[in-house]
Amino acid sequence: MSEDPTRPSGEARQAPQGKLPFLGLSALGIVFGDIGTSPLYTFKTVLGTAEVPTDPATVLGALSLVLWTLFVITTIKYVSFAMRVDNDGEGGILALMALLGVKKQNRPTIVAVGLFGAALIYGDGAITPAISVLSALEGLNMATPALQPYVVPAAVAILVALFAIQSQGTAAIGRFFGPVMLLWFAAMAAMGISGIVQHPTVFAALSPVYGLTYLFSHGLTGFLVLGAVFLCVTGAEALYADMGHFGSGPIKLAWFAIVFPSLILNYAGQAALVLEGAPTEGNIFFRLCPQILLIPLIVLATVATIIASQSIITGAFSMTRQAIQLGWLPRLRIKQTSSEGYGQIYVGVVNWLLMIVTVGLTIAFGKSDNLAAAYGIAVSATMLMTSALLFIAMREIWGWSMLAAGSVAACFLVVDSAFFLANVTKIAEGGYVPLLLAISVYGVMWIWHRGAAAISMRMHEALIPVAGFLADLAARKIPRVPGTAVFLTRTERDTPPVMVWHVRHNRALHEHIFVLRVDIQSVPWVSSSNRIGIEEVAPNFWRAEARFGFMERPHIPELLAASKSLGCTIDLNDVTYYVGHETVVGREDGLGLPAWQERFFAVMERNAVHVSDFFSLPSDQVVEIGRQVSI
């Protein structure tokens, strides 16, 4: 079986030197949109939380905290540590969870941490477009206050349009994301330099002493400021999650050469402007811009926030596919929007739910300042959970001692816990929104997985050995008709229940039988040499196990074509696929799932994409056998 042409190539994962700059430019448009647009709202939110925002000690302390947060969390934790723990090139909390062997071992704590961390990212995905686009358009208030009433309607219109075009794919415009973001970072750096020139002593904040002094000398206010400071790294998780698109090299190049220096210069420029006497009301970011260039900057900022939002939406689609393949979400319809890249997909249910929540948040909160209270808690909790999984990876993957792994992980956990606790104080101000979203998504994942496991268990309860089944066919003189029947099954051994039901109702069986079980592995990709294992358990009766990674699209007809090279003599021109369609009901013996879980799972099962579509089976060759399963 040939490799999937849309799979990221080895060049993308281990980029040769000639392609490294090009891939680094592409990474700017995909990976750094969120963290790259955070200067629009972070520093003004930090100073807005402080008691005396124009006090030099406050300004330098806030800047120091921002710069060192960027360094510790993004540069050290994610770039230097997390990106070294990859699952066959893939990153992100779900890939990390899979890497730790949760499918092969009973590790409920790791599963809970990984899944809830992934669920929290959906909350971040709903808030990021709202706060980013609002903060960009709020620059219109500084250009002309008369436009203020139109900021929210314009933001809603842009967001609705953004979600509406997702089904068409973004491959055509995606190639412009990198150059636009390069222009954005260049503009941010230039604006920062213009501010630093006015008050160059601002670079004293490079010393962590200023940040720590402010933090420990302002009591509760200093602690609360941490919640606002954290906004500067809300896109750091994307560096790890999007690693599979480019490899670590291009992402590191873009971070160190362009993104990190631009962020430092811009935040320092905003601080210098405040130290020089600029008011902190409104948006400090746009005060760095000359009045004549303000409108072009607002346009560029809006485009940059749209790109950042697009990256978040695409990330939500990709994570949904991973969760489906790993068995934690119902099968949803996934549309490949471009043949150019495996990541170019569209998941309609996720898209429209995200749009409803995002637009609702935009209208309800109205201003980026208000949304800042809801922002941060989801990302800080995800980062905290990533640190916990990194500790396990240091021990099990790298083989570090308890002392070494514990020391490094403790540093990360202390920093992450401080930011998380600071954000917890904002729950009543809107932080409950991403938490409710995460709890809802986690609940769906948990119930779906429990229901699927219950069905699998019921399937294994009354299996018939193949030899006994074939002997019974001969004894009952069940006719064998020409052709090949492919039975898809969940069971790992014996005769699949769907075959038993087929014979029971049709009183006939094909001459050639191919029983296929699909196993989604806890790795993103499976090599063609390990794709399928076939065993002839009886004359003209083959049993096979197909293995796919959680980033692959199972395509059964292509798989069967490859099986002929392994000695299987089925006739691909005369194949009928048999799949079961379960109707889920509650068990009467009281040993099954609680009634409310069974009903909720049954609803998801009825609305899930049919297994024949999920496995790309030809619709005119599929026979569906209905069956009732009590769980």
Considering only 97-111, 131-145, 577-591, 607-621, which range has the smallest mean pLDDT?
97-111
- Higher-confidence residue: 111 or 214? 214
* 392-441 confidence digits (pLDDT tens): 999 988 999 999 999 999 999 999 999 999 988 888 888 888 888 889 99
Strand partners, 625: 580
The answer to whether residues 393 and 99 touch, using CB atoms and an 8 Å cutoff, is yes
Token reading at 484: 């090949």
Query: Residue 504 pLDDT > 90, yes or no?
Result: no
pTM of the model: 0.84
Q: Which residue in the block uniquely carries the two structure tokens 């995909």?
A: 30
The set of residues, in sequence order, having a beta carbon less than 8 Å from that of 440 and lying 6+ positions away, is 119
Query: Residue 535 pLDDT > 80, yes or no?
Result: yes
- Looking at 460-573, list the stretches that DSSP marks H as alpha helix, in order from N- to C-terminal side: 466-475, 497-506, 556-563
Query: Residue 609 pLDDT > 90, yes or no?
Result: no
Mean pLDDT, to the nearest integer, of 563-572? 71
Count of CB atoms situated within 10 Å of the CB of 513: 25
Nearest in space to 330 (alpha carbons), one of 310, 356, 358, 350: 350
Token reading at 493: 């051994």
The CATH code belonging to domain 16-449 is 1.20.1740.10
The answer to whether residues 314 and 308 touch, using CB atoms and an 8 Å cutoff, is no
SS (H, E, C) 349-363: HHHHHHHHHHHHHHH
- Distance, CA of 363 to CA of 361 (rounded, Å): 5
User: What is the chain's mean pLDDT, rounded?
Assistant: 86
Query: Domain residue spans in the chain?
Result: 16-449, 458-630
Tell me what pLDDT residue 409 has. 93
- Looking at 348-494, list the stretches that DSSP marks H as alpha helix, in order from N- to C-terminal side: 348-365, 368-374, 377-396, 402-424, 432-459, 466-475
The answer to whether residues 65 and 245 touch, using CB atoms and an 8 Å cutoff, is no
The answer to whether residues 578 and 487 touch, using CB atoms and an 8 Å cutoff, is yes
- Distance, CA of 506 to CA of 350 (rounded, Å): 40
